[in-house]
Amino acid sequence: MAARPDPERLAPPEGRFRLLFVCTGNICRSAIAERYTRARLGARSPVVVESAGVHAVSGRPMTRRSARLLEKLGADPTGFTSRRLTSRMLEEADLVLTATTAHRGLVVRGSPWMSGRVFTIVEFGALTGAVLARPRSAEEIAQEGDPARRAHDLLARARALRGLVRVEEPDVPDPFGGSMRAYRSAARLIVAGLSAPLEMLTAEVAPAVDRRAPSSGS
């Protein structure tokens, strides 16, 4: 059987970036992350956002508390149904953001070639925050007008910082069966983790900056 191509060396396809959120049942954390991200990016974004669960029963609606929180966040929970994670979904994804390190480990063990594309939501938020803390990096990313190419660029820069940025608590705890307070806590972690990447993906296109030293007059 032919070896899989190195995902880090593949040229980004024109106008496309697929983001997949993963949790356990796909009715709480990844469902919230998917619909919140879609709302922030807008319906016309070329960034395709989906979700799935490693032990999901396909076809179930998200929990009522998840739906209520999404409405408060300005997102639409209507029509959502859960999906069980498949190898096909992983193959099609450019970036996989998981609720916990355990989910990340399951994905990577099953698809080792995906390791450079799989992060927890909180981990990726910390890495992209570190990228954006570097003014020149933020400028260069913002100069890319195509959100899909911008996402590929952000992913490459975040991956380069892996292991260099400390993430104290990389997991979003499962609120399923818990109180509304547990759901709000999970939602806050998701929103905070997605803050930096969404800020970059929705930012206005920045003008190119000429960094060449000015020539001296004669």
Q: Compute φ and ψ for 45, nearest 5 degrees.
A: -70, 140
Report yes or no: 22 and 85 within 8 Å, Cβ to Cβ: yes
Q: Compute φ and ψ for 158, nearest 5 degrees.
A: -65, -40
Domain at 89, CATH number: 3.40.50.2300
- The answer to whether residue 66 sits within a structural domain is yes
Q: What is the pLDDT of residue 7?
A: 43
- The answer to whether residue 10 sits within a structural domain is no
- The answer to whether residue 195 sits within a structural domain is yes
- The answer to whether residue 5 sits within a structural domain is no
Identify the three-state secondary structure at position 89. Answer: helix
Identify the three-state secondary structure at position 39. Answer: helix
The enclosing H or E element of 168 equals none
- The answer to whether residue 69 sits within a structural domain is yes
The enclosing H or E element of 201 equals helix 180-202
Domain region containing 188: 17-202
pTM for the predicted model, two decimal places? 0.89
The enclosing H or E element of 119 equals strand 118-120
Q: What is the pLDDT of residue 208?
A: 56
Strand bridging mode 17-23 / 95-98: parallel
Mean pLDDT by 10 residues, the chain (218 residues): 40 74 98 98 95 98 98 97 97 97 97 96 97 91 91 96 95 98 98 97 72 50
- The answer to whether residue 104 sits within a structural domain is yes
